[in-house]
């Protein structure tokens, strides 16, 4: 949470506080480089407490392809001129899980430029609705009750 207490002995402290509660303190400056070793110790302490731990494979994220390399195609059509966000980038953001306008904005940078969406918001809304196969009125800005079109 941003609060890093410094123990009086100026060293890491790993202590059990309950059956499955472990406190890790003193990870001030070298904490970043020591964190892999500390996490191994915490896992060991938790498994000794009876917690079953399964190692899950780490999936590699696919690179987000920029479509602006092909400005003549519809996919390379620039929608947000402030941040040069293309139609295909907006569609790809929706395909990758962005279901709200805020999600699309954060993933692509659309509507976050100088005009703050005054020029491109309507087009972004239409593209998101088209990609989700829904009416633009059902697209929300950021969750329940935050409709753009009413």
3-state secondary structure of 86: strand
pLDDT digits 0-9 by tens, 19-76: 778 888 777 666 667 788 888 888 888 888 888 878 888 777 666 555 555 555 556 7
pLDDT digits (tens, 9 = 90+) for 18-29: 777 888 877 766
Taking the CB of residue 118, how many other CB atoms lie within 10 A of it? Answer: 11
Angle at 129 between CA 125 and CA 131, to 5 degrees: 120
Whole-model pTM?
A: 0.54
Domain with CATH 1.10.10.1100 in the chain: 67-138
**Model confidence pLDDT, tens digit, residues 5-21:** 677 776 778 888 877 78
Fold assignment, 67-138: Arc Repressor Mutant, subunit A (1.10.10)
């Amino acid at each position: 949470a941003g609060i890093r207490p410094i123990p009086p002995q100026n060293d890491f402290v790993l202590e059990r506080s309950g059956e499955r509660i472990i406190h890790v303190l003193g990870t001030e400056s070298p904490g970043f480089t020591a964190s892999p070793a500390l996490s191994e110790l915490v896992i060991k302490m938790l498994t000794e407490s009876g917690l079953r731990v399964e190692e899950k494979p780490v999936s590699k994220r696919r690179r987000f392809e920029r479509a602006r390399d092909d400005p003549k195609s519809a996919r390379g059509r620039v929608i947000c001129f402030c941040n040069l966000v293309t139609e295909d980038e907006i569609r790809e953001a929706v395909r990758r899980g962005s279901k709200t306008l805020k999600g699309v904005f954060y993933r692509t940078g659309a509507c976050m430029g100088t005009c703050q969406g005054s020029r491109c918001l309507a087009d972004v809304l239409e593209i998101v609705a088209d990609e989700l196969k829904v009416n633009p009125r059902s697209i929300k800005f950021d969750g329940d009750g935050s409709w753009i079109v009413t």
